[in-house]
Amino acid sequence: MKRKFPNTRLRRIRANSPIRNLIRENTLSPHDVIQPIFLIEGKNKIQKIKSMPDISRISIDNAIKEIKVLKKLGIQGVALFPCIDNKYKDKQGSESYNPNGLMQHAIKNIKDAIEDIAIISDIALDPYTSHGQDGVLGKNKEILNDETIDILIKQSLSHADCGVDIIAPSDMMDGRIKGIRRALEKNGHINTKILSYSAKYSSNYYGPFRDAVGSVKNLGGLNKDTYQMDYANSKDALHEVEMDINEGADIVMVKPAMPYLDIVSKINNEFQIPIFIYQVSGEYAMIKAAVKNKWVDEKKVVLESLQCMKRAGANAIITYYAKEALKWMR
């Protein structure tokens, strides 16, 4: 088909707002966004996160209040992340599977207090290890893959026992989805969903998050390059996604978001599986900094960024702007 001017005038279909709305290919709705929540011990506790303006660590009781507000705005799910005291951290991250731990209590209490909200729980060891890495360290400080999986399985089961809807392994260990899925099936948790951080890159955008969960000081100047993916590569992402699907993942994740929309698009074209995307802390902090300096319109920039993620093929978006986006969409 050949289109030539003046028979074809592409500006005709952009002439006014009603026409543009009628032909819009992708739209945002409250069902598209997921709010991350950082948890701390105690009651009626709020700790501001300096590197993430307007985001705080909150105690479970305040988290319940916040989720009730979010639900009234139309949100369908929240993602929980713990920040525990250093006294509970060790080299193995054993607090991660404590049945009376922070995350375990949070899942139970939220489930008891609120109906029809999907709870996503982070499965990783970095909030729990004294060294800040996502796995068990060997003698030469290498990350021990299989030994780490054994702990991740215990952590996953402890969350499933509390009634979590979706467990989200974000560690990037080889074979962890297979191990977790088998353990869930064996222990009767056949309906517990797995959201695998399949395409998680070793990115420089994670700094504020590591501050939020209290792992940045423990990690020191070390990186996670031996298990998270090289940001120069895309084939790795497709390999990881294919393996995780075969091992039992129900949903896959791309993280970070905006710089990796090409990865979302490639996965969407290659596989028939839901895709979530994480607009990470560094992306959020950069927008906030630009807004503070009055360089951009916050509402317009945020909604554009979320819309672009949908256009690339994301089914849902974990974003620190979820609450504001819900209000802007009303």
For residue 222, give both structure tokens: 């070390």
- Annotated catalytic residue within 89, 224, 255, 288: 255
What count of Cα atoms within 13 Å lies in the side-chain half-sphere of residue 81?
24
The secondary element (H helix, E strand) that includes residue 281 is helix 281-292
Burial 266-303 (b: 16+ CB within 10 A, else e): bbbeebebbbbbbbbbbbbbebbeebeeeeeebeeebb
Q: For residues 17-26, b (16+ Cβ closer than 10 Å) or e, as one string?
A: eeeeeeeeee
User: Is position 72 annotated as part of the catalytic site?
Assistant: no
**Is residue 249 exposed (0-12), middle (13-18) or buried (19+ Cβ within 10 Å)?**
buried
| Token pair 């060891």 in the structure block, residue | 125
Residue type, 5: F
Q: Give, to the nearest 10 degrees, the angle between helix 281-292 and helix 298-312.
A: 150
Q: At residue 18, what are phi and psi to the nearest 5 degrees?
A: -60, -40
Catalytic residue, chosen from 200, 224, 288, 310, is 200
Q: Note if 200 is an active site residue.
A: yes
Catalytic (active-site) positions: 200, 255
